[in-house]
Every structure is written in C-alpha cells, then in structure tokens.
Amino acid sequence: MVAGRRGTASLFAFAGLLLAAPAAAQLGKYSLRDLTVVGEFSDITAVATSTDRVYVTSRTSIVVWNPLDRSWSGPWLAPQPGMLRDVLAGIADQLGGGVWLIRQAGWVYFDPVIGTWDSGTVPGRVLSAALDEGAPGSGLFLSTTGGWYLASRGGMALPSGPPMRPIRPATVGEATRQNPAISATSASLLTITRLRNVQFTAAARGSGFTGIGWYMGTLGAGLLFYPDGGGLPEPMPFGLPGGVPTAVFPGNGGVWVVTARSIEADAAVSFVSADLSRFHWWQGPLATGFPFTSARRMVGRGGELWLATDVGAVRLRPRDEEVQRFDFGNGLPDSRVTDIVQRKGTVAIATVRGVVRWQDSTGFEGVAPDFSGTADALALQGDTTWIGTRLGVYLAVQGERNLQQSSGFRASPSFQVRVVDMTWLADTLVVLTPDRLMWRDPGTGKVTLGPLLGASLGRLHTVLAVENGLIVAGDAGVSPTRLDGIPVRILRVPDDLPGQVLDIAVEGVYLWVATAAGLARISLDVLGR
C-alpha cells in the first residue's frame, strides 16, 4: 500500500514536469480583433477535419476554414516561438471544438472557439498518435520511443496503454491511394505555383459539411481540395503567398498587397478582405511572372493598380490579369521609380532622373523637362505637381520647363532638407522628412516645421491623411499625429508591431501595416481614433 501511494505520488510529480507554460496573448497584449498579423501561408505543416471545420497550420500559426459560408477564421499566432515549427500531423478533437497537433517530442492542443492553447512534451521521440473512438474525451494517445502516453487538455501527459479503437491522422500516402487523381493531376499544380515544384505535406479526409474529398497541404501552394470524382484541385489560399509585403493599398472591402520576390516565392499581388475571410493570390503571367522584385508604392486608378517598382512603373488590371511595364525609353526618364501618386485620374511618377505624368488622353508627358534630378515624393494639385527632392519642396507648373520654389519653402534653410513623402490634408500640403513633418498654409503660403519624430518612430518614410488627421510611419513604428506634429499614440516595433514598417494604408475601420514580418491589421480603436 505504501509503495502504491509512493508510486502514485511519483507519477503525478513526473506528470507535473510535462505541464506547459501558460499561453501568452498575441504580441503580448492584443486580442485577435485588435491586432492580427497575416503572414506567408503557402507552406502547410498539418491539416485536420471535423464535421464542420478544416484546421490548417503553418510553421507559426493556425487558421480554420468554414465550409458552410466558405470563409476563413484566424490566424491564431502560436504563443511561444517555435511551438508549431516541428508539427508532424493534426487530428480534430471528437468532442470539443479544437484540434490536436502532434510534434516530434510532444503535442499542442488549440481551441479556436475560446482561443486557448495547451502543449507539452513526452520522453523520447513521437512515433505515432491516435484518438480512441471508444473513449473520445480521454485525450491524445502518443506512441513514443519511451512507450505510450496519454495527453489531456490542460497540458498533462501520463504513461498509458495504446487506444482500444484508434483513430489516426490521415497520411499523404493514404490520400493518393484512395484518390489516384491527386497524383495524376500533380502537373496541374505548376500552373498554380508558376512552374515551381510543389510537395504534398499533409492530408485530411473531408466528409459531411466539409465536402466529400481530400484536403491536401503542400509546400509552395498552400491548401488544396480534391473532390471525389473531380479533376483539377481547388486552390484554397489564405494569407500571403510568400515574401515580404512591401506595399499596401486600400481596395473595395479589403486591401491589395505586394509581396517581394524571394528565393522561395515569386513576387505577387494579393487581395486580402477586411475580415480576413477571403484571399486572392496573383503571381503574374505563367511564363514570366511579374517583372519586378519589389514595389515601393501602390496606387489605384479605376480598375487599375499602378506600382512603383525596382524596374519601372507597372500597371496592373487584376480583373483581366493584364500586366504592362513602363521603364526607361518606354515613357519614363529612368527605370528607377521612387514614388507614384494618383489624383482625379492623373498618375504622376517620380524617378531618379525626373518626373512624368500620365493621362489616358495624352499618355506620358514630361514634368518640368529641364529637371533631371532625383524626385523622392510627389503631390498633385490641378495642373501643378509638387515635387519633394533632396533639397526641399519645389513645384512644376504646366508649360514651364524647370522647377520653381514657393516663397514659403525658401524662407528658411531648415526647409531645404530631403523630402520622403507628401500628402494633402484638405488644402494643406503636408511634407514628411526623414525625422519630422512640415506643412504649408494654403492661405498665406507660410511653412511650419513640426517637432522631431524620428526618435520615436525611426527613419520616417510615409505620411497618410485620414479623416481626423494624419498617420505617420517610420521604420520603427506608426503613430496617428495631429497637424502640429505631436503623436497621439505610438505603436512600436517589436512591442506592438512584428517587424520593420514598410508601408501603411487605411481601409474601413482598420489600419493595415506592411512589415518585414507580415501584414498587420490593426483596429483604429487601438489608435484612439
């Protein structure tokens, strides 16, 4: 009896060593509604299905496909770095609304309904895993090099025997045997990934509301669905197809995002709906892809998107999937485009050797053709083009061959500095330098220099006019700002934002921030707006 009691105490002491640390909130302090980071989701590590959900994991987060309304939920970022990096397979909980994820030396349990995470480790290496159909609430059975263990919700694992009626995760081999079309149509994946090789990584059988067929996770093409008796797979994109998001622009009910070319992925343009329920990936023509590596800015004009890229200005018509590039000798004075703006149908393009404007009726026209210096920022006002240079703000009047400078910007040497962006707040021209704002009074022409912002936000690069003021972005943060240049609330990297800030846009009730670590969607309530 004493030995038995001592054995029980030792068993629970051992189990206590397998308890996981409590899960932290996303980025430490934000709810999913307040701040969500959408990243690359073309590489899938596990897929699992319940009667009405499909759970999908990447190396960093989990998303859920809802077949009834054909929408996505999530993403839920893993609360601990590396928690999902070694996931081998997944299996949906038979009773709860969560999913079990099998790792090389442990497990993760996630419940998207209440947003809770549990995880733990077991001695040895995990060989296989299963649920018990006869005891659906018992937990996850793990076969390891050290024997069998039973993991339960709450983060505890105890030595156990094998399940009596095991339900195991499906495998890629099982899927291809049951549906030979998966292997037979694998060549069609080249059209989805623009001729890049694709590898199947995970499989889950759909039934009931999830559809009759196989959900296949891949490396390179995201999630695919192969219906029974069907031919080609149905792509089911979530998030971004890869690369770093470098430019973002508001669209109808969401945002357009440009992701840069990388070793693993081509440059792409994606549409992300505001509620993160729908995504569309576009990687350019099948034979060539997009002609650029990255885009600095993006603007919209009717059904077109215009991009300032490293190889010129690129005009896109997403509905028709048409791509047209303008570079040196084809409308532009230089292929190195630094800025692009649009106002009332006119597009202006800044390069390192001058500025041009585009209108449908005339095509490209040079702006102040005697000016062949670097223009870093533009703002349009009727027939006048305001140009930000390395030596301050100048203007080009239609019909004049060179730039002029208004008396306000000539008034002080403090105004003769590099300009990185400009925008209009009603009739006031707002100018951004690498470390502060300045603005020109439309009535008097007087220019005012704002306080330094660089210490809080890093090197400044973008200013955006919104309903109640301005939003300023720098490499190290973002802040809504009054016209007097005083920040209202600062979101900093890495406490509030996941990586270096590259671009910003506002659509609906959200601020969208393109960062080096993904696309952040932030509720304007967080900014106090």
Mark out the alpha helices in 336-380 (DSSP H runs). Answer: none
Query: 236, 260, 282 — which closes off a domain?
Result: 236
The CATH number covering residue 454 comes to: 2.130.10.10
The span from the first CA to the last CA of the chain, in angstroms, equals: 67
User: Which residues contact residue 282 at a Cβ distance below 8 angstroms, ignoring those fewer than 6 apart?
Assistant: 268, 269, 270, 318, 321
Question: In this structure, is residue 374 part of a structural domain?
Answer: yes
Mark out the alpha helices in 116-188 (DSSP H runs). Answer: 172-178, 181-184
Query: By the 8 A CB rule, do 68 and 24 touch?
Result: no
Question: In this structure, is residue 467 part of a structural domain?
Answer: yes
Residue 4, helix vs strand vs coil: helix
How far apart (Å, rounded) are the C-alpha atoms in residues 358 and 506? 25
Question: In this structure, is residue 266 part of a structural domain?
Answer: no
**In terms of domains, do 194 and 304 share one?**
no
**In terms of domains, do 8 and 112 share one?**
yes
The CATH number covering residue 36 comes to: 2.40.128.630
**In terms of domains, do 388 and 300 share one?**
yes
Query: By the 8 A CB rule, do 244 and 258 touch?
Result: no
Question: In this structure, is residue 269 part of a structural domain?
Answer: no
Question: In this structure, is residue 406 part of a structural domain?
Answer: yes
**Domain span including residue 223:** 2-236
**In terms of domains, do 428 and 314 share one?**
yes
Question: In this structure, is residue 272 part of a structural domain?
Answer: no
**In terms of domains, do 302 and 411 share one?**
yes
For the chain, give the longest Cα–Cα distance.
102
pLDDT at res. 286: 80
Q: How many CB atoms lie within 10 A of CB 250?
A: 17
Query: 211, 236, 261 — which closes off a domain?
Result: 236
What angle (nearest 5°) sits at the alpha carbon of residue 143, between those of residues 140 and 145? 145
User: Which residues contact residue 248 at a Cβ distance below 8 angstroms, ignoring those fewer than 6 apart?
Assistant: 255, 256, 257, 258, 298, 503, 504, 505, 512, 513, 514, 519
How far apart (Å, rounded) are the C-alpha atoms in residues 294 and 275? 26
**In terms of domains, do 209 and 313 share one?**
no
CA-closest candidate to residue 127, choices 156, 148, 109: 148
Question: In this structure, is residue 151 part of a structural domain?
Answer: yes
Query: 236, 255, 283 — which closes off a domain?
Result: 236
How far apart (Å, rounded) are the C-alpha atoms in residues 32 and 43? 22
**In terms of domains, do 227 and 300 share one?**
no
Query: By the 8 A CB rule, do 394 and 404 touch?
Result: yes
**In terms of domains, do 175 and 313 share one?**
no
How far apart (Å, rounded) are the C-alpha atoms in residues 27 and 37? 9
DSSP structure class, residue 22:
P
How far apart (Å, rounded) are the C-alpha atoms in residues 309 and 325? 10
pLDDT tens figures, 453-484: 988 999 999 999 998 899 999 999 999 998 88
**In terms of domains, do 182 and 316 share one?**
no
Tokens representing 55 are 């759970």
**In terms of domains, do 298 and 190 share one?**
no
**In terms of domains, do 374 and 227 share one?**
no
How far apart (Å, rounded) are the C-alpha atoms in residues 499 and 365? 39
Torsion angle (degrees, nearest 10) of CA 130, 134, 135, 137:
80
Query: By the 8 A CB rule, do 259 and 241 touch?
Result: yes
pLDDT in tens, the chain (529 residues): 222 222 323 322 323 333 333 222 345 578 888 999 999 898 999 999 998 999 999 999 999 999 988 999 999 988 888 999 999 999 999 888 899 999 999 999 999 998 899 999 999 999 999 999 999 889 999 999 999 999 998 888 999 999 999 999 999 999 999 998 888 777 666 555 554 678 899 999 998 777 889 999 998 889 999 998 777 889 999 999 887 999 999 999 999 999 999 888 889 999 999 999 999 999 898 888 899 999 999 999 999 999 999 999 999 999 999 999 999 989 999 999 999 999 999 999 999 999 999 998 899 999 999 999 999 999 999 999 999 999 999 999 988 999 999 999 999 999 999 999 999 999 999 999 999 999 999 999 999 999 999 889 999 999 999 988 999 999 999 999 988 888 889 999 999 999 999 999 999 999 999 999 999 999 999 987 6
Question: In this structure, is residue 12 part of a structural domain?
Answer: yes
Side-chain half-sphere exposure of 169, counting CA atoms within 13 A: 30
Give the predicted TM-score (pTM) of the model: 0.87
**In terms of domains, do 358 and 427 share one?**
yes
pLDDT at res. 192: 58
pLDDT tens figures, 192-232: 555 467 889 999 999 877 788 999 999 888 999 999 877 78
| 33 class by beta-carbon count within 10 Å (0-12 exposed, 13-18 middle, 19+ buried) | exposed
| Tally of domains in the chain | 2
Side-chain half-sphere exposure of 369, counting CA atoms within 13 A: 5
State the DSSP H helix or E strand holding residue 457, giving kind and residue range, or none if neither: helix 454-457
